[in-house]
Amino acid sequence: MADRDEIILGFTEEQVMMRDMFRKLAKDSIEPLAAEIDRSGEYPDALIEEFKELGVMGHGFPEEYGGGGGSTFESCIMVEEIAKVCHNSAMMIGRQELAGFPIMVAGTDEQKKKWLPKLAGVEIASAFALTEPDAGSDAAGVKTKAVKQGTDYVLNGSKRFISHSDVADIILVFARTAESGFEALSCFIVEKGTPGLTIGKSEKKLGQRAVHSCEIFFDDVHVPEENLLGGKEGIGFLTAMKILEMTRPVVGAAGVGLAEGALGYALDYAKERIQFGKPIVAFQVTQFKIAQLAMEIEQARCMVYAAARCCQAGLPEANKLGAMAKVAGTDIAMKASLEAIQIMGGSGYMEDYPVERFFRDAKLLQIVEGTNEINRQVIGRAVIGKLPKK
């Protein structure tokens, strides 16, 4: 008999096997460590090594550069399964692609040959530095400047909330090479240890604690012109928007996985918790909560995989559907984790159970890769089309 994911979502037989492999990895290797990862705020090297051996962190890189040649669709499969038990781990497996995707999309042949095999093989780590103190949702408002001096570009400014920047060997830095307009932004590959580059403290966060987010400061940082992404100025903004288009379905998948995990824990608890002489799952109010969550998770899941297919096919609708998948997946993550706590009552509020961790991790999903408000704006503009002239 065909697997339900083969029928409903069009998984191939190989993708079903991949799903089952990652489900086992999540249960056997990741779930037992998830609570301690959250408590300590540190990610274990042993898990990174296991991911490396399985080719997890290089899955999305082209085979010609030593990667797994995987698609956005398959990245969603991986992330969904791992996010069911540990959101820190779901975000960790995409660390290499933070720099890899921009280089794949816009890099020169020389930049691809130099950096992609190292990223695919997890020889180096990477970070993606776009956000600044005054430029978050307004990506075009970046103030970090890059000025050409001889054969170098000199960078001055700062970045904020940059994930993995404390361990990154290369950082993809977006900086202004002109005064105004979308074509004012360029992107640079900045290497660890470059004079003038300073990584600030790791922020104390509500959730996703093992994915460190830091400030970055640039004080006359000299970057050789061969590290200008694509070998030309002015492509930074379009590159950043293209990367968001590629990654939003995957963030949606992380949200769906988190929601599935939260609902699963709450359901198991509700079957065992006895009140008024019967398990609380027997009460209609609990059944209605579970039914509503199950419906919305299924809807979001279908949307995520539809968006992933559009993205990898390069369809014009990919930007709109990617934003929809991101919003749907992350909103249900927030709702499911909150409702899971309510179903479990006082126990759900305690660190003895994982749903309070899921709740804390879910909130960030509604903020990263463009806030859900910004994504709704993307969706609205795509649906409405050109605004009528006054």
Active site residue ranges? 369
Find where tokens 């070998």 sit: 231
Q: Please answer whether residues 185 and 142 qualify as being in contact, where contact means their C-beta atoms are separated by less than 8 angstroms.
A: yes
Q: Please answer whether residues 332 and 339 qualify as being in contact, where contact means their C-beta atoms are separated by less than 8 angstroms.
A: no
Q: Please answer whether residues 262 and 255 qualify as being in contact, where contact means their C-beta atoms are separated by less than 8 angstroms.
A: no
- The three-state secondary structure class of 153 is strand
Residue 352 CB neighbour total at 10 angstroms: 9
Distance CA 103, CA 109 (A): 9
Distance CA 121, CA 382 (A): 38
Question: Residue 381: which residues within 8 A CB-CB, separation 6 or more?
Answer: none
Distance CA 65, CA 188 (A): 21
Closest residue by Cα to residue 248 from 339, 162, 319, 148:
319
Residue 303 vs residues 22, 183, 306, 329: alpha-carbon distances, Å? 21, 32, 5, 8
70 φ/ψ angles, rounded to the nearest 5 degrees = -75, 160
Q: Which amino acid is at 317?
A: E
The residues that bridge with 197 in the sheet, in sequence order, are 218
Rounded CA Rg of the chain: 21
Which DSSP string corresponds to 166-187? TT-SEEEEEEESSSSSGGGEEE
Q: Please answer whether residues 239 and 102 qualify as being in contact, where contact means their C-beta atoms are separated by less than 8 angstroms.
A: yes
Angle, CA of 269, 273 and 275, to the nearest 5°:
150
Residue 272 CB neighbour total at 10 angstroms: 9
